[in-house]
């Protein structure tokens, strides 16, 4: 490996570490838990889609498991095609960083532009980790409206998960 590549790799790692330290101090989940089940993912997405319909929004809704892999996806009629990848990106970002994408958006809006260089970071509201017993089991990502609308719809999905019985009680 050339010295230029090593220096570039070192700089990227330093940038990532610095950006993570500068994120708002939101309580992170303790770690990752079991992966969300298809049944639970479907219930989360249905609740989010119901909220979107009540509000008159057409949205894409992605649910990923604790490793960031797609478990369930729904694209409502008339949703813009670009929202497919954006919803998936928000879900993966919320899962992988174990915090809502709103926290990343707020950090960028607060001048922490280094977050824009972090691989996989989607600093736009609408991605929220899904937790069970304080551990991340996946995440929801929503796209199709304003970032605030996306966040409201994603929150409806999170609330639906909170009403489901847990599979692994403490």
pLDDT band for position 170 (cuts 50, 70, 90): very low
How far apart are the C-alpha atoms of 15 and 88, rounded to whole Å? 24
Domain that holds residue 136: 3-162
Pair type for strands 60-65 and 127-132: unpaired
In the numeric block, which tokens belong to residue 91?
């879900």
Asked whether the beta carbons of 88 and 79 are under 8 A apart, the reply is: no
Q: Is the pLDDT of residue 1 over 90?
A: no
Average pLDDT over residues 62-76: 98
Single pTM value for the model: 0.82
Give the model's pLDDT for residue 89. Answer: 98
Q: Per the domain annotation, does 157 fall within a domain?
A: yes
Give the model's pLDDT for residue 7. Answer: 56
Average pLDDT over residues 66-91: 98
Average pLDDT over residues 54-78: 97
Note the pLDDT tens digit of each residue in 2-36. 666 665 555 554 454 444 444 544 556 579 999 99
How far apart are the C-alpha atoms of 49 and 54, rounded to whole Å? 9
Helix/strand/coil percent split, the chain, to 5: 50, 15, 35
Q: Per the domain annotation, does 112 fall within a domain?
A: yes
Asked whether the beta carbons of 66 and 136 are under 8 A apart, the reply is: yes
Q: Per the domain annotation, does 32 fall within a domain?
A: yes
In the numeric block, which tokens belong to residue 63?
């649910």
Average pLDDT over residues 126-155: 97
Specify the DSSP element, H or E, that contains 72.
strand 70-75
Asked whether the beta carbons of 139 and 130 are under 8 A apart, the reply is: yes
Q: Per the domain annotation, does 169 fall within a domain?
A: no
Give the model's pLDDT for residue 30. Answer: 72
Give the model's pLDDT for residue 8. Answer: 58
How far apart are the C-alpha atoms of 53 and 71, rounded to whole Å? 22
Give the model's pLDDT for residue 163. Answer: 87
Q: Per the domain annotation, does 85 fall within a domain?
A: yes
How far apart are the C-alpha atoms of 62 and 69, rounded to whole Å? 10
Residues in CB range of 85: below 8 A, 6 or more apart: none
Count of structural domains, the chain: 1
CATH code of the domain in which 97 resides: 3.30.450.150
């Amino acid at each position: 490996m050339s010295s230029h590549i090593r220096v570039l790799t070192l700089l990227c790692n330093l940038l990532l570490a610095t950006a993570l330290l500068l994120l708002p101090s939101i309580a992170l989940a303790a770690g990752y838990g079991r992966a969300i089940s298809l049944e639970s993912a479907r219930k989360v997405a249905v609740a989010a889609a119901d909220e979107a319909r009540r509000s008159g929004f057409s949205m894409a809704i992605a649910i990923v498991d604790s490793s960031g892999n797609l478990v369930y996806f729904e694209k409502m009629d008339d949703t813009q095609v670009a929202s497919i990848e954006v919803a998936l990106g928000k879900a993966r970002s919320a899962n992988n960083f174990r915090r809502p994408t709103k926290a990343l958006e707020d950090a960028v809006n607060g001048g922490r532009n280094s977050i824009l260089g972090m691989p996989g970071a989607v600093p736009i509201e609408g991605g929220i980790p899904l937790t069970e017993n304080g551990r991340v089991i996946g995440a929801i990502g929503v796209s199709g409206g304003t970032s605030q609308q996306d966040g409201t719809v994603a929150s409806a999905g999170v609330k639906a998960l909170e009403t489901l019985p847990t599979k692994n009680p403490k």
